[in-house]
Chains A and B, each alone.
Chain A
Amino acid sequence: MPSLKDLKNRIASVKATQKITKAMKMVAAAKLRRAQEAAEAARPYSQRMSAVLSNIAQAVGADDSAPRLMTGTGRDQTHLLVVCTAERGLCGGFNSQIARFARDHVRKLLVEGKTVKIVCVGKKGFDILRREFASLIIDRVDLREVKKIGFENADQIGKKIIGLFEKGEFDVCTLFYSEFKSVISQVPTALQLVPAAVSTDAADAGAAAIYEYEPDAGEILSDLIPRNISVQVFRALLENVAGEMGAKMSAMDNATRNAGEMINKLTLSYNRQRQAQITKELIEIISGAEAL
């Protein structure tokens, strides 16, 4: 049985923790709002981009002039996985969800006898994947110093991927990130970057006017595809930030609630014990008086 003083100390420390988690929750909520706004603001560009892309892809068709980034190398022996996670923990299962999803994918590829290379974006994913696939990780991108994710950050990663592709380091590139569905639900997602999965549905290019291309469709396409990769990475990073903040918010909310419950329980046993002590003292006094 802990003494009264012990109980008092524990209540105080749980209260202090609760204050911290509450503050973290509020910070996460504010950051979430900002992240959502950023994701929202970036949407028109990526929408336009994919519309234009599918438009041109149709015009160029699958002839030989299409850039290799789009058609791929024709093999699928070497896979590059770009795993985007958060830089910080304390956000529930957010990071491990992505990492687990990527890990399952890696295992599947390894069983199929493919070569796998991993690029980690974000510290947490690196920490988790390093345990199992340390030899497969060829690079990592650190965004810890970055306060607000800008297009330049994504562009750097995009350029890195393209550079590796040009050196023939991989055949297929897949991006792993967490899609932001809502504050409480983030879904780990895999997105194929190379060869570019361009939707050539006649339906969504329905308004396809007959365009004039300047310089020409093929050249525009080879300019667009690398840019598209950066845009996709950018979108993934933004979704990730929003997801991280959402996960952190609900994790911290849970923590605050748990702390509250704990305080209630501790206060109850504190009061009970204090009462017991008072009763004990009274009994001692009364029985002392009776003995006289």
Chain B
Amino acid sequence: MADFNFELVSPERLLLSERVTEVVIPAAEGEMTVMANHAPTMTTIKPGVVTVKATDGKVTRYVVFGGFADILPTGCTLLAESAVPVGELSRAAIEKRIEIARAELENASADEHKTGIEQFIASMTALNGIVVAA
């Protein structure tokens, strides 16, 4: 099976850079699976789970909190605001983020900004369910 280079980058460091066959990313308009020779696409991502399938068939899952992905036929780069392996994330951490977002919502004035935060909270809440179930 054809493989391609996948990079997961957070502002603080390069988290992952390896050959993979398949990556599922939570794109802004629904989940999408990226495989080798994908058409060049750029998309924003919402908080969710990124599933990476390496060439040896090993599957790793990361939780990302927003960002965007740059997909080329030869590779895929995911720039995440912050990313954590699923196993290391606790429910408390998510709840803390939701709380911060809520506080922000109260201070927000612009409507657009408000919807943005509300969406964030919604997907975070969904995430809360997924991660703990997993």
Q: Which residues 93-134 of B sit at the A interface, judged by CB distance below 8 A?
A: 109-110, 113
- A52 with B12: in contact, given A45-B79, A215-B28 (CB under 8 Å)? no
Interface assignment of B55: CB less than 8 Å from any CB of chain A: no
Stretch in A17-25, A75-83, A89-97, A204-212 with 4+ CB within 8 Å of B: A204-212
Q: Which residues of B contact A49 (CB under 8 A)?
A: 79
Q: B110 contacts A166, CB within 8 Å?
A: yes
Stretch in A1-9, A223-231, A269-277 with 4+ CB within 8 Å of B: A223-231
Q: Which residues 1-33 of B sit at the A interface, judged by CB distance below 8 A?
A: 7, 9-14, 27-29
Chain A, Cβ-Cβ closest to B40? A209
Chain A, Cβ-Cβ closest to B113? A166
Q: Which residues of A contact B70 (CB under 8 A)?
A: 48, 52
Q: B79 contacts A214, CB within 8 Å?
A: no
Interface assignment of A177: CB less than 8 Å from any CB of chain B: no
- A212 with B39: in contact, given A41-B12, A166-B110 (CB under 8 Å)? yes
Q: B79 contacts A209, CB within 8 Å?
A: no
Q: B13 contacts A212, CB within 8 Å?
A: no
Interface assignment of B43: CB less than 8 Å from any CB of chain A: yes
Q: Which residues of A contact B44 (CB under 8 A)?
A: 214-215, 219-220, 223
Q: How far is the CA of A154 from the CA of B9 in the complex (A)?
A: 17
Number of B residues near A (Cβ < 8 Å) is 27
Q: B41 contacts A231, CB within 8 Å?
A: no
Interface assignment of A150: CB less than 8 Å from any CB of chain B: yes
Q: How far is the CA of A166 from the CA of B72 in the complex (A)?
A: 34
The chain B residues found within 8 Å of chain A, CB to CB, are 7, 9-14, 27-29, 39-44, 68, 70, 72-73, 77, 79, 81-82, 109-110, 113
- The 9 A-B pairs at the shortest CB distance, nearest first, are namely A41-B13, A214-B43, A209-B40, A151-B11, A212-B41, A211-B40, A45-B9, A45-B11, A211-B42
The chain A residues found within 8 Å of chain B, CB to CB, are 38, 41-42, 44-46, 48-49, 52, 55-56, 150-151, 154-155, 166, 209-215, 217, 219-220, 223-224, 227, 230-231, 234
Other than the given A45-B12, A151-B12, A212-B40, 19 more pairs (CB < 8 A) read: A42-B13, A45-B10, A45-B11, A52-B42, A52-B79, A55-B42, A151-B10, A166-B110, A166-B113, A209-B40, A211-B41, A212-B39, A215-B29, A215-B43, A215-B44, A219-B44, A220-B68, A223-B68, A231-B11
